[in-house]
Amino acid sequence: LPSIETLREIRFDGVPQFTAAGAAHLAKMTSLESLHLSWMIVDVTDETLADTILRIVSKNTNLTHLALSNSGVTDEGLASFDENRRLTALHIGEEPKLTEAALDSISKHIGLKSLRLGIRPYLSISNDQLTPLRELDSLQLGERQRFSPEILKSFPKLASMTLSGEVFDFALAREI
C-alpha cells in the first residue's frame, strides 16, 4: 500500500490477507476521500481489524465518505472516528456489534448529508439522538430501524428518504 498513497477511494471487501500491519499504511494515504469496509475478518488482537482501520484513518481530513457492512466494527471503533468533522456520507449496513451507542457517534458528524442505516443493528432512534444532523438531505433506514416520524422535523434539508421492510407500516404512513 505505501506506493498508492494518492488513491481517493479504496474498498476492502473480504480481503483475508489484509492485516493490522497493512492497515498502518493507510495513515499515509492523505488523499483518501472514500473508504468502504466489508466482510473484514477479526484481527488476532482484541480489536477488530475494522476498528484498527477506523482508528488509523480517523485523522485523515480529506475522508468524506465511509461505508461499513459486515466489517465487524464496534461502538468503540466508530467512536474513534468522532473527531473527523469532514464526513458527509456514512453508510452502515449489517453491523451486529453496533448498539444504540453508535447513534451518539453518528450524531457528532454534523456535516453529514447522507446517512444510511441498514438491516442490523436493530436500533430504536429517539427523536433527539440525530437532531444535530441538520444538513442531512438523504436518509435511508433499513428493516427494523424504529423511529418516530417527529424526527423528520429535525432535518430541514431532507430531500430523499428510503424506508425498507418492516420499518414502514400503515401506522407510520398515516403519521408521515
- Per-residue pLDDT of 50-61, as tens digits, reads 888 899 888 888
pLDDT at 158 over 50: yes
pLDDT at 33 over 90: yes
CA–CA distance from 37 to each of 20, 54, 93 (Å)?
14, 10, 10
What pLDDT score does 94 carry? 85
pLDDT at 136 over 50: yes
- For residue 166, give the C-alpha cell: 418492516
pLDDT at 88 over 50: yes
pLDDT at 150 over 70: yes
pLDDT at 138 over 70: yes
Q: Identify the residue whose cell numbers are 423528520.
A: 152
- For residue 102, give the C-alpha cell: 453508535
Question: 37 has which bridge partners?
Answer: 12, 68
Please state, in angstroms and rounded to a whole number, the distance separating the CA atoms of residues 158 and 135. Answer: 8
- Please, what is the average pLDDT of the chain? 81
What pLDDT score does 47 carry? 62
List the end-to-end C-alpha distance of the chain, in Å, as a whole number. Answer: 48
Q: Please, are residues 135 and 157 in contact by the beta-carbon 8 Å criterion?
A: yes
Please state, in angstroms and rounded to a whole number, the distance separating the CA atoms of residues 51 and 63. Answer: 16
Nearest-CA neighbor of 92 among 111, 112, 27?
112
